[in-house]
Amino acid sequence: MAMGGYESLVPYIEGEENLTVAVKHIVGALGSNKNLTKDVKKILAELGSQLTSMAAIKDDDDMVEDGKIGIQYHLSILEEKITMVWDLCPDEAVKYRNAVHEVRNLTERLENQCSPNFY
């Protein structure tokens, strides 16, 4: 195999590492804050929308599965960190929980539409 095949993976790996670092930073920041401002809530909502639209764009089955697993993993971490805020803002907690549920349902529907039936 030519070295070019390996070189094409480098930007992808670097991008994944940058994304991981950014998500860890966000999770840490959320964990240290007791209250979320309207701006932060708006940014998190936009992030959720962007992740949802990214799932719809991917056409490779493996990439869709990897994306879904990554989204679920990061959302579960965010859910854990935001739990502290729920006691302070019960109405926001319900809205957040409903949004997460919608994202999961949408992800499952997209996955079902993208994966061929082999039965």
Domain residue spans of the chain: 39-114
pLDDT score, position 9 = 47
pLDDT score, position 105 = 87
Q: Which one is predicted more confidently, 118 or 61?
A: 61
pTM: 0.34
Are residues 35 and 85 in contact, defined by beta-carbon separation less than 8 angstroms? Answer: yes
- pLDDT per residue over 13-64, tens digit each? 666 788 788 878 877 777 777 777 788 778 888 887 777 776 666 555 666 6
pLDDT score, position 1 = 41
Residue 119 scores a pLDDT above 50: no
| Four-point Cα dihedral 28, 52, 108, 12, nearest 10 | -70
